[in-house]
DNA sequence: TGTGCCGGGAT
DNA sequence: ATCCCGGCACA
């Protein structure tokens, strides 16, 4: 994991910084500059030399070693990134992949890249390496000697990691539609029950500063609404950019699920794109991308929407059917657990 | 695929 | 009225 500068690494870094600075400043207006194209070509050339499938951007310092935080995965098949620490890591990831299957098959492999964004006020500097951003902060903002490698770690406070979709970036550059509704939209409201909630319109995974803190990004998938006892209202759809996945939406989290799965650990999951749907009280939120407004289809047959309350069957199970209310036993509307 | 329950038949 | 179940909608 030592610095392994590839031939075009320097150029790449500069290009990335330039382009992404523009991008982060104005995600909509992307100048299809030839430089960006060249940059991407440079990137692909660089990537093709590495092993297929699970390449890693050669930013060796993209993750801080020996921290509680796992190395940020570059194996991003979709427009999101999941990370879960623990033994159920893989399973979680896979299942979530299915859950968040992009309905529109697109270029998806190897398209995410960790970048480091300067958080200094009025500074939109984005670099591809943490060392670069640290140097930037040291020299520009902290007024220290840039040549020196000395770092007291203070720089960590002033930058954060962001994730950028390379495909989108290049796509946007070449296929720019100025009026495309790819804004990040209003920041989604995440009715988390704790103040761990945090939503950003940018893809801030975590900064080194917060690595030891419990993550704020957590994905859950609950099968039953009643399992999530968190007093949450319906998570609103974060108006999701259809193609521009340099941004994310963050799903809400149910503490009960969260702690059940990982009692003592910090499980943090970053999600890019897509939202959770649920609960069923009103219409569920569609997770489709292209349907800007999903019609809940009220079913002309006026069949009552399924209630979210526990029913006898669920409470007692089939083996204790004698405990069911009569209605449930007769396959009628449950009388004991009415909605 | 499992669940909730409507509609309707049997007793 | 009570009991039972086919079958459908929904998640």
Whether A90 and A215 share a structural domain: yes
Other residues' Cβ atoms within 10 Å of the Cβ of residue A26:
11
CA of A29 to C1' of B8 (A): 63
Each residue of A307-321: pLDDT tens digit? 666 788 888 888 888
Sheet containing strand A159-165, edge to edge, reads: A126-127, A112-118, A159-165
Same domain as A339, residue A253: no
Residue A198 has pLDDT above 60, yes or no: no
Write down which residue in A261, A290, A317 finishes a domain: A261
> Cα-flanking dihedrals φ and ψ of residue A114, to 5°?
-80, 135
User: Alpha-carbon distance A57 to A55, whole Å?
Assistant: 7
Residue A257 neighbours by CB under 8 Å, 6+ apart: A220, A222, A227, A228
Neighbours of A114 (CB within 10 A): 23
Domain final position from A199, A232, A261: A261
As a whole number of angstroms, the distance between CA A62 and CA A69 comes to 12
The phi, psi pair for A34, rounded to 5°, reads -60, -25
Last residue of a domain, one of A261, A278, A295: A261
| Strand B positions closer than 7 A to protein CB | 3-8
Q: Which nucleotide is nearest to A338 (CA to C1')?
A: B4
Same domain, A240 and A314: no
Q: Which tens digits make up the pLDDT trace of A275-308?
A: 333 333 333 333 333 333 333 334 334 566 666 6
In a domain, A335, yes or no: yes
CB within 7 A of strand B: which residues qualify?
Answer: A 303-304, 306-307, 310-314, 318, 328, 330-334, 339
Q: What is the pLDDT of residues A214-270, one digit of tens each?
A: 333 333 333 333 333 333 333 333 333 333 333 333 333 333 333 333 333 333 333
Q: Is the pLDDT of residue A50 over 50?
A: no
Q: Do the domain assignments include residue A290?
A: no
- Domain co-membership, A91 together with A167: yes
Which residue, among A139, A196, A201, A161, has the nearest Cα to A71 in the 3D structure? A161
A83/A73 Cα distance (integer angstroms): 8
Per the listing, tokens 């650990």 go with A265
Q: Tell me: the pLDDT tens digits for A91-138? A: 333 333 333 333 333 334 445 667 788 787 777 788 888 888 888 878
A38 within a domain of the structure (yes/no): yes
pLDDT at A114: 74
Q: Name residues whose C-beta falls within 8 Å of residue A264's C-beta, 6 or more positions apart in sequence.
A: none
**Strand C-proximal protein residues, Cβ less than 7 Å:** A 280, 284, 297, 299, 301, 303, 305-306, 326, 329-332
State the pLDDT at residue A337: 82
In this structure, the answer to whether residues A112 and A33 fall within a common structural domain is yes
pLDDT recorded at residue A145:
66
Task: Say whether both A37 and A151 belong to one domain.
Answer: yes
Q: Tell me what pLDDT residue A149 has.
A: 55
- The whole-number pLDDT of residue A124 equals 79
Beta bridge partners of A127: A116
Same-domain status, A256 and A315: no
Distance A51 CA to B5 C1' (A): 55
Nucleic acid strand C: bases within 7 A of protein CB: 3-7, 9-11
The Cα–Cα gap between A14 and A16 comes to 5
Residues A40 and A111 in one domain: yes
Query: Is residue A227 in some structural domain?
Result: yes
**Could you give the angle at which helices A9-25 and A34-48 cross, rounded to 10 degrees?**
130
Same domain for A250 and A316, yes or no, is no
Q: A219 lies in a domain?
A: yes
In a domain, A282, yes or no: no
Per-residue pLDDT, A279: 33
Is residue A325 a contact partner of residue A334, using CB atoms and an 8 Å limit? yes
In a domain, A248, yes or no: yes
Buried b (16+ CB within 10 A) or exposed e, A204-227: bbbbbebbeeebbbbbbbeeebee
- Rounded to an integer, the average pLDDT of A51-78 is 36
Average pLDDT, stretch A317-333? 84
Number of domains in chain A: 2
Beta-sheet pairing, A112-118 with A126-127: antiparallel
Nearest nucleotide from residue A301 CA, by C1' atom: C9
pLDDT in the model for residue A111: 56
Find the helix or strand (DSSP H, E) in which A160 lies: strand A159-165
Phi-psi category of A211—alpha, beta or left, where left has phi over 0 and alpha has psi -120 to 50? alpha
Residue with CA nearest C1' of nucleotide C2: A330
- Mean of per-residue pLDDT scores for chain A: 47
Token representation of residue A75? 């194996």
Which pLDDT score is estimated for A120? Answer: 77
d(CA A330, C1' B10) / Å? 14
Q: Which residue range(s) make up the domain with A315?
A: 309-339
């Amino acid at each position: 994991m030592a610095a392994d500068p590839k031939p075009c690494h320097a150029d790449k870094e500069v290009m990335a910084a330039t382009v992404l600075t523009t991008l982060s400043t104005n995600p909509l207006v992307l100048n299809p500059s030839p430089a960006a194209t060249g940059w991407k070509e440079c990137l692909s050339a660089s990537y093709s030399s590495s092993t297929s499938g699970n390449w890693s951007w050669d930013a060796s310092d993209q993750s801080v070693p020996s921290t509680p935080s796992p190395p940020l995965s570059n194996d991003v098949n979709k427009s999101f990134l999941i990370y879960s620490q623990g033994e159920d890591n893989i399973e979680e990831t896979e299942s979530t992949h299915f859950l968040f299957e992009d309905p529109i098959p697109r270029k998806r492999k190897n398209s995410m890249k960790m970048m480091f964004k300067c958080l200094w006020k009025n500074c939109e500097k984005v670099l591809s390496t943490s060392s670069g951003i640290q140097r930037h902060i040291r020299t520009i903002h902290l007024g220290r000697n840039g040549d020196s490698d000395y770092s007291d770690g203070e720089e960590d406070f002033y930058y954060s990691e962001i994730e950028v979709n390379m495909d989108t970036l290049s796509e946007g550059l070449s296929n720019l539609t100025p009026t495309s509704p790819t804004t990040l939209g209003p920041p989604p409201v995440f009715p988390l029950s704790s103040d761990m909630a945090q939503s950003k319109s940018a893809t801030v995974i975590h900064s080194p500063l917060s690595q030891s803190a419990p993550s704020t990004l957590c994905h859950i998938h609950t099968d039953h609404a009643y399992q999530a006892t968190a007093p949450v209202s319906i998570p609103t759809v974060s108006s999701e950019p259809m193609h521009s996945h340099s941004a994310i939406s963050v799903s809400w989290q149910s503490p009960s699920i969260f702690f059940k799965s990982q009692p003592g650990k910090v499980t943090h999951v970053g999600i890019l794109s897509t939202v959770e749907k649920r609960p069923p009280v009103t219409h569920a939120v569609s997770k489709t991308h292209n349907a800007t407004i999903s019609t809940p289809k009220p079913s002309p047959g006026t069949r009552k929407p399924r209630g979210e309350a526990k029913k006898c069957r669920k409470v007692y199970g089939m083996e204790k059917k004698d405990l069911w209310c009569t209605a449930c036993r007769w396959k009628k509307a449950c009388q004991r657990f009415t909605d």
